[in-house]
Amino acid sequence: MIIEVLKSKIHGARVTRTDIDYEGSLGIPEDMIEACGLYVNEKIDVYNVSNGERFSTYVIKEPAGSGNFFVNGAAAHKAKKGDKIIVASYAHIDEKEIKTHKPSVIRLDENNRIVR
């Protein structure tokens, strides 16, 4: 049986900008994309801890070390600068792999720096 599991997660990111007029997506710093095993253009779910909104979009790359988390397009109606968010991606794996599967998770501080 194939099941869907958490693959990658960024916990505690702060939105640094929103832009309704952009075509859509979530900008994430390249170093954080790599640290948690995400890919540019990968589908992600975003959970807004500050207001309870949830939405799906895809990853675009921001400069490494910038700490920028940009919410763009229609999703910009669901977040504002300063909101705390969780970013998650999922993978389909064979049930036999579940006991050895370990998602890649990073936690950020209030300045969007990796703390673990």
What residues does each domain of the chain span?
A: 2-107
Residue 73, classed as helix, strand or coil, is helix
Give the model's pLDDT for residue 24: 76
Give the model's pLDDT for residue 23: 79
Average pLDDT over residues 103-110: 97
C-alpha 32/C-alpha 107 separation (Å) is 10
Confidence of residue 65 (pLDDT cuts 50, 70, 90): very high
Those residues with Cβ within 8 angstroms of residue 104's Cβ, 6 or more apart along the chain or in another chain? 7, 8, 9, 35, 36, 37
Per-residue pLDDT of 66-85, as tens digits, reads 999 999 999 999 999 999 99
Give the model's pLDDT for residue 33: 98
Per-residue pLDDT of 7-53, as tens digits, reads 999 999 999 999 999 977 999 999 999 999 999 999 999 999 999 99
Active site residue 58: yes
Q: Which amino acid is at 28?
A: I
Active site residue 22: no
Q: Choose, from 22, 47, 58, 90, the residue flagged as catalytic.
A: 58
pTM of the model: 0.94
Give the model's pLDDT for residue 116: 80
Range 2-107 has CATH code 3.30.1540.10:
no
Average pLDDT over residues 43-65: 97
